[in-house]
Structure 1
Amino acid sequence: IHTLPNELLTLIFEAGSVLTYPSLVEPKSPFVLITVKKVSSFMNTVMHVCHRWRQVAIHTPALWTTLHISRSRKALDNLPSVKDFRNPMPWVTEHLMRSQCLPLDISLDCRHISIKSVFNQLIPESHRWRSLVIIIPSVQDLPNALSSLKKIPAPALETLEITSLKYHDSIAPNLSSFRDGLSPNLSHIRLNRVSLSWLAFPLKGLTTLDLRFVIWPTFSHLADMLSGSPNLQNLILHIDNTAAKLLDRRDRAAISIPSLRSLEIRLFSQGSPTICPFLQIFSIPALESLTLREVTSSDWCRILVYFRV
């Protein structure tokens, strides 16, 4: 392998740089504290093979486009002073420089870092952001996490994911609308345990909306949100008990999503709510794939009625 020319090594490294990483968080229940997964990047692997690979990797911009920004509790406790907590992270600056002009995929675990300091490093490169994942300890930390991003253009941003590690008790902080017209290419949104109310709808380019145990709006508010997303093709709803009351359709017309191709519904219920009312919320004539997770046997009997020809 030491006989491979640098040009071929570079091509191999570039191919490895596009490997997909598993999601850092996966909420399986609305109440259990989410654990953030540790992910080792392909870049870290090749940097530790040998001196030559390290030198080639340093000069391969594609290897430096993924930034998992976090700090362990132990590293936080070992900082000499508060000033060091607020200082820029040198390795982040290094990644931004070595990635040159390529699109950036960024994840922020906000628990033990200075959000303001990190965004001061990232915002000058906001035109390169391709995906942004923000992990906060609780929903009450969301205003602080988003305050630095007001009116910051991110024209290349395609994916936005925000997760609260703790359950929210359906209490949302007051937030003004966010990303209104600043991310015209935003097509994929995933929200875990946070509110929809701060997100600026309509989102005309939205194709995938993934909502897991969020702070739900009312039925009318949800209908207004989705009516402005004519290209929505994939909808994932992981629902808890609070949604059963807030999303009650009653005698109102179903929410029309004519472009929807895929729908997934998972009901985490403590008590009597069933999944059947949620099937009646939407009018989805183009649906091709329906996934119902953790459905009870009694629910199946009710569901089959909807599929009789």
Structure 2
Amino acid sequence: MHMLQSLELDRVLVAETDAQIREIESQMSKLEEQLTALKDSIYVLRATKELAKQRLDSYKYPVLTLPNEIVSEIFLHFLPTYPKTSPLLGRLSPTTLTHICHRWREIALTTPALWRAIDLESEGETAAFLAQLWLERSGCLPLSIRAADFDFEDSFLSVYRVFIPHRARWEHLDLELEDPDHLEVLDGSLPLLHTLSVFLGKSLVKPLLLQNSPLLRTVVLDDYGRPSLILPWSQMTCLTLRSLYPAECISILRQTENLVSCNLDLWTEDLPGGQLADVQLLRLETLVFERNSDIWVEFLQILITPALRSLEMVEGFLNKTDPIGSLNSFISRSGCTLNELRIMAASIDEDSYRYAFPSIPLVVCSS
């Protein structure tokens, strides 16, 4: 009897267990269906995500779709317009473009025009190494170079010697030198040199003759630079003279028959005594007097500029009792037709100048 009861209990247990198993299997089947559906959803979501990512990438980096030639041209607009120079390192250096991505680096390194305008701001071996890299990357293009020895005079020549083998490519040169002996870098042929700016801490004992520079047209000199260099003045079309004496200025201007633009900032000193011959600048179109000085009243009386179109000066250059009259005398004697007149530190109002010179389209006075 006891055994029969035990068997019956086992039959019930088996039946209940089977029922539980079937229930669990049913739940598992449903879960598997849900899992499959979830996996399908994940697959769809990942595909949607990838498409969206591709669209985002194309929206975020459209430059990556541009041809290398276009990117290279864009890079050139990142820098100052040539011949303005860029530092060897830093945010405004073309080296910045090599740190963005591999493609940009390759484009930058194979664009010679990015590396042709060099500003030597660094010192010693670092500057020499970087300058050598720039020169190699610039290929055969003409060069614009700005260099100063005031901050690292002792190492200047070691840096600048890197440029000597490339002197045939020098096109624009801007030198600020405490030691005038460093001007020796100009000694020799400079076949492409077009622009030369020299600021010196003192004069050379023996002037340096700058020859074999047939393309030199633009020169900027200060008081020490002028006696340190003997230049082919007749070639010049643009000239800036700073801190020179009037007599020396007149001597130079008599040799610049092809001058088109002239900027003068001279020391105050009486003009040489006696009757002075006229200084005729027949091609001069732009003339700027920067420094206020009584001597310019006399200077204007010997200056003849028939092609002059733009004149800028401090009113103190004119006759103090009758500035408009002295200016009118200069214009009439030169026979020029001005398009632009700018008077600085004016004591007379702008309307008076406009009334006196109605044929000049642009008259500007500033106090």
Q: Structures share a fold, TM > 0.5?
A: yes
Tell me, in whole angstroms, the C-alpha distance in 2 between the residues paired with 1:98 and 1:156. 19
Match of 2:177 in 1: 136
1:160 aligns with 2:160: no
**TM-superposed deviation, 1:21:** 7.1
**TM-superposed deviation, 1:12:** 2.1
1:82-123 deviation per Cα after TM superposition (whole angstroms, max 9, x unaligned)? xxx478710010011000000100000112152322332111
Question: CA separation of 1:281/1:136 partners in 2, compared to 1, >3 Å: closer, same or farther?
Answer: farther
Three-state SS of the structure 2 residue aligned to 1:263 is strand
**TM-superposed deviation, 1:203:** 2.8
What is the RMSD of the two structures over their aligned residues, measured on CA atoms? 3.1
Question: CA separation of 1:203/1:240 partners in 2, compared to 1, >3 Å: closer, same or farther?
Answer: closer
The 5 A counterparts of 1:163-202 are: 163-164=199-200, 172-180=203-211, 182-202=212-232
Question: CA separation of 1:94/1:274 partners in 2, compared to 1, >3 Å: closer, same or farther?
Answer: same
Tell me, in whole angstroms, the C-alpha distance in 1 between the residues paired with 2:105 and 2:320. 56
Residue 125 of structure 1 aligns with an amino acid whose one-letter code is: H
1:177-225 deviation per Cα after TM superposition (whole angstroms, max 9, x unaligned)? 3312x211000001234342232243332100011224x3x62x54443
Match of 1:27 in 2: none
1:94 aligns with 2:125: no
Tell me, in whole angstroms, the C-alpha distance in 1 between the residues paired with 2:189 and 2:295. 42
Match of 1:207 in 2: 237
Superposition TM-score, scaled by structure 1 size: 0.73
Match of 2:286 in 1: 262
In the alignment of these two chains, the number of paired residues is 264
Residue 237 of structure 1 aligns with an amino acid whose one-letter code is: L
Residue 227 of structure 1 aligns with an amino acid whose one-letter code is: R
Tell me, in whole angstroms, the C-alpha distance in 1 between the residues paired with 2:222 and 2:249. 16
Residue 192 of structure 1 aligns with an amino acid whose one-letter code is: D
Unaligned runs of 5+ in 1: 25-37, 77-84
Question: CA separation of 1:300/1:178 partners in 2, compared to 1, >3 Å: closer, same or farther?
Answer: farther
Question: 1:87 touches 1:117 (CA, 8 Å); kept in 2?
Answer: no
**TM-superposed deviation, 1:258:** 1.5
Q: Which has the higher contact order (CA 8 A, sep 6+)?
A: 1
The 5 A counterparts of 1:117-136 are: 117-136=158-177
Residue 46 of structure 1 aligns with an amino acid whose one-letter code is: L
Match of 1:47 in 2: 98
Structure showing greater Rg? 2
Tell me, in whole angstroms, the C-alpha distance in 2 between the residues paired with 1:211 and 1:162. 10
Tell me, in whole angstroms, the C-alpha distance in 1 between the residues paired with 2:183 and 2:157. 10
Task: Report which of the two has the higher share of helix.
Answer: 2
Question: CA separation of 1:161/1:49 partners in 2, compared to 1, >3 Å: closer, same or farther?
Answer: same
**After the TM superposition, which parts of structure 1 deviate over 4 Å for at least 4 consecutive aligned residues?**
15-18, 20-24, 85-88, 221-224
1:143-175 deviation per Cα after TM superposition (whole angstroms, max 9, x unaligned)? x2212332x2110110000124x6x7xxx4423
Tell me, in whole angstroms, the C-alpha distance in 2 between the residues paired with 1:44 and 1:87. 14
Match of 1:147 in 2: 184
1:116 aligns with 2:116: no
1:18-64 deviation per Cα after TM superposition (whole angstroms, max 9, x unaligned)? 6257799xxxxxxxxxxxxx996452443344343222111111100
Superposition TM-score, scaled by structure 2 size: 0.63
